[in-house]
Chains A and B, each alone.
Chain A
Amino acid sequence: GAVVSQHPSRVICKSGTSVKIECRSLDFQATTMFWYRQFPKQSLMLMATSNEGSKATYEQGVEKDKFLINHASLTLSTLTVTSAHPEDSSFYICSAVQGYNYGYTFGSGTRLTVV
């Protein structure tokens, strides 16, 4: 079945630094990946749609200069949280669609804590 590998699973960083999160589709090509954010005790909210070879599409209210998304290949999308602040602490999770039989495949998520 489809697998999306997401790293790191946990990261703690200092305020003002940048953090990169990677999502790789291991056994399929993902033209599009989706990035979600989940605050404690809340649902998953779509942040952006990442398209291979083109600019990401951000949801309203998501700062594109703060959350840099790069989808340079059909198997890798990265989310970089720049100049992180404590309010960026959250659970970030990526997803891709492989096709009808597999539906949506999610990475295991990254818990970011900014101190």
Chain B
Amino acid sequence: AQSVTQPDIHITVSEGASLELRCNYSYGATPYLFWYVQSPGQGLQLLLKYFSGDTLVQGIKGFEAEFKRSQSSFNLRKPSVHWSDAAEYFCAVGALSGNTPLVFGKGTRLSVIA
């Protein structure tokens, strides 16, 4: 069965420091991978997605992620974190067929300190 593991429940980084959020997936078919961000009380915002091609994908707000098939990973990175990046981050995997839902990881809460 498909699954997504986000090993880190909570991460705290200093403003201006670099960030890496880990995501590992298990999927029986070609994975389509996503990172979403959710601020408290808000809906989901898509940061970036990987479908095929270049394994390093760029997203919004300065985020990027690298797909590593050999490691079944899709880690999210940002070189310099801003205080406004504090939020919950979800990694998800799907198949993009009409009847296959996204499967989400449990999320990583990011706190940013001055």
**Which residues from chain A sit less than 8 Å from chain B, CB to CB?**
31-32, 34, 42-46, 49, 51, 93, 95, 97, 99-100, 103-104, 106-109, 111
Contact = CB atoms under 8 A, between A and B. Distances in A.
Contacts of A49: 99, 101
Contacts of B106: 42-43
B90 interface: yes
Nearest to A46: B101
Nearest to B102: A104
B9 to A, nearest CB: 10
Chain B binding surface, main DSSP class: loop
Given A42-B107, A44-B90, A109-B42, 7 more contacts: A32-B99, A49-B99, A93-B44, A97-B96, A100-B51, A104-B34, A109-B44
Interface in B67-99: 90, 94, 96-99
Contacts of A31: 98-99
B22 to A, nearest CB: 15
A33 to B, nearest CB: 10
Contacts of A99: 96
Interface of B: 32, 34, 41-44, 46, 49, 51, 90, 94, 96-107
Contacts of B101: 34, 46, 49, 95
Q: Which has the most chain A C-beta neighbours within 10 Å: B41, B101, B107? A: B101
B43 A109 contact: yes
Nearest to A109: B43
B52 to A, nearest CB: 10
B34 A103 contact: yes
Contacts of A32: 98-99
A93 B45 CA distance: 13
Contacts of B99: 31-32, 49, 51
Contact of A103 (B32, B42, B107): B32
Contacts of B94: 97, 103-104
